[in-house]
Amino acid sequence: MDDEFGDDVDFSALAAVEKTTPAQSSSSAAASSSGPKKVQQPKPQALPNRSGPSAILVSPRQKGNPILNNVRSLPWEYSDIPADFVLGATTCCLFLSLKYHRLHPEYIYNRIRNLGHLYNLRVLLTMVDIQNHEESLKELSKTSMVNNLTLILAWSAQEA
């Protein structure tokens, strides 16, 4: 088997196995030609319990938040949580209005610090409700990068 690529030991071993298997394959072909083979159905398995809640958990701080009026596809309930919203076992969301951020710029930093590293996916949902938003968004973008947050912008409560 010398050719331009050289002698391949694995290929030689495979060729030797193929030479010995035709007798075995002819006996299995005779057995399968005697009748149709039964199809074996998979056995049903119990689904594992969900690790997270089936509803969005909302902090009592968010009472009166206009975006709650637009959440209709999933149930939500109030719960004592460090984030504004808990969307799953490892996902949370902080809500920030830029109007509020202009009046209280330290608020979001305290909330991020209190959140710690409890969640793998941390979202900062920001409602852009002011005209001159460029500087605020630049600052929040840097803060999000440093603190491992995903920044999502919305221009209305319906969009949020």
Average pLDDT over residues 47-71: 78
Full-prediction pTM beyond 0.75? Answer: no
pLDDT at 4: 61
**Residue 151: exposed, middle, or buried by beta-carbon count in 10 A (0-12, 13-18, 19+)?**
middle
What would the two tokens of residue 11 be? 């290929």
**Is residue 142 scored above 90 in pLDDT?**
yes
pLDDT in tens, 66-97: 888 888 888 888 989 999 999 988 999 999 99
Q: Look-up: residue for tokens 């809500």?
A: 95
pLDDT at 108: 92
Q: Look-up: residue for tokens 């941390």?
A: 122
Could you give the CA distance from residue 10 to residue 84 in angstroms, rounded to a whole number? 60
- Eight-state DSSP code of residue 123: E
pLDDT at 95: 94
pLDDT at 130: 85
